[in-house]
Amino acid sequence: MNKQKTKVMIGLSGGVDSAVSAHLLKQQGYDVIAGFMRNWDALANSDQLGNPTLNQDLCPQEVDYQDAQLVADKLGIPLFRIDFVKEYWDHVFSFFLKEYEKGRTPNPDILCNKYIKFDAFYEFAKSHGATMIAMGHYAKRIDHADGFAGMHLSIDDNKDQTYFLSQISQTQLSHTLFPLADIPKEEVRRIAKALNLAVAEKKDSTGVCFIGERNFREFLKNYIPAQPGIMIDMETKQPVGQHEGVYYYTIGQRKGLGIGGSKSLGSDKWFVVKKDVKNNLLYVAQGEDNHFLLSDEITVGSLNWIRSIPKIGMTYMARFRHRQALLPVTIKSLTNQTLTLSFPNGYKAITPGQGAVLYYQGECLGGGLIDQIYYQGQQRL
Cβ-contact 370, 352 below 8 angstroms: yes
Under the banding of pLDDT at 50, 70 and 90, the label for residue 211 is confident
- Predicted TM-score (pTM) of this structure: 0.94
Distance CA 214, CA 62 (A): 17
Element (H, E) at 367: strand 363-375
End-to-end distance of the chain based on CA atoms, in angstroms?
50
Distance CA 375, CA 298 (A): 9
Confidence at residue 210, expressed as pLDDT on a 0 to 100 scale:
80
At how many degrees (to 10) do helices 16-27 and 60-75 cross? 20
Confidence at residue 260, expressed as pLDDT on a 0 to 100 scale:
66
Confidence at residue 267, expressed as pLDDT on a 0 to 100 scale:
66
Catalytic residue among 20, 25, 71, 112: 112
Q: 209 catalytic, yes or no?
A: yes
- Set out the domains of the chain in order of their start, with CATH numbers: 3-211 (3.40.50.620), 226-286 (2.30.30.280), 293-379 (2.40.30.10)
Catalytic residue among 22, 111, 209, 273: 209
Could you report the per-residue pLDDT of 88-135, keeping only the tens digit for each? 999 999 999 999 999 999 999 999 999 999 999 999 999 999 999 999
Q: For residues 140-157, give the mean pLDDT.
A: 96
Could you report the per-residue pLDDT of 16-57, keeping only the tens digit for each? 999 999 999 999 999 999 999 999 999 999 999 999 988 887
Q: 364 catalytic, yes or no?
A: no
Confidence at residue 209, expressed as pLDDT on a 0 to 100 scale:
82
Determine phi and psi for 159, rounding to 5 degrees: -100, -5
Parallel, antiparallel or unpaired: strands 339-348 and 270-276: unpaired
Q: For residues 353-377, give the mean pLDDT.
A: 96
* Residue 264 scores a pLDDT above 70: no
Determine phi and psi for 32, rounding to 5 degrees: -105, 130
Confidence at residue 212, expressed as pLDDT on a 0 to 100 scale:
85
* CA-closest candidate to residue 244, choices 268, 263, 219: 219
Distance CA 369, CA 110 (A): 10
Determine phi and psi for 377, rounding to 5 degrees: 85, -5
Could you report the per-residue pLDDT of 245-262, keeping only the tens digit for each? 999 999 999 999 998 655
- How high is the mean pLDDT of the chain? 94
Distance CA 108, CA 106 (A): 6
Under the banding of pLDDT at 50, 70 and 90, the label for residue 381 is low
Element (H, E) at 26: helix 16-27
Confidence at residue 57, expressed as pLDDT on a 0 to 100 scale:
76
Determine phi and psi for 89, rounding to 5 degrees: -65, -45
Could you report the per-residue pLDDT of 125-141, keeping only the tens digit for each? 999 999 999 999 999 99
Residues in the chain: 381
Distance CA 31, CA 8 (A): 6
Confidence at residue 13, expressed as pLDDT on a 0 to 100 scale:
96
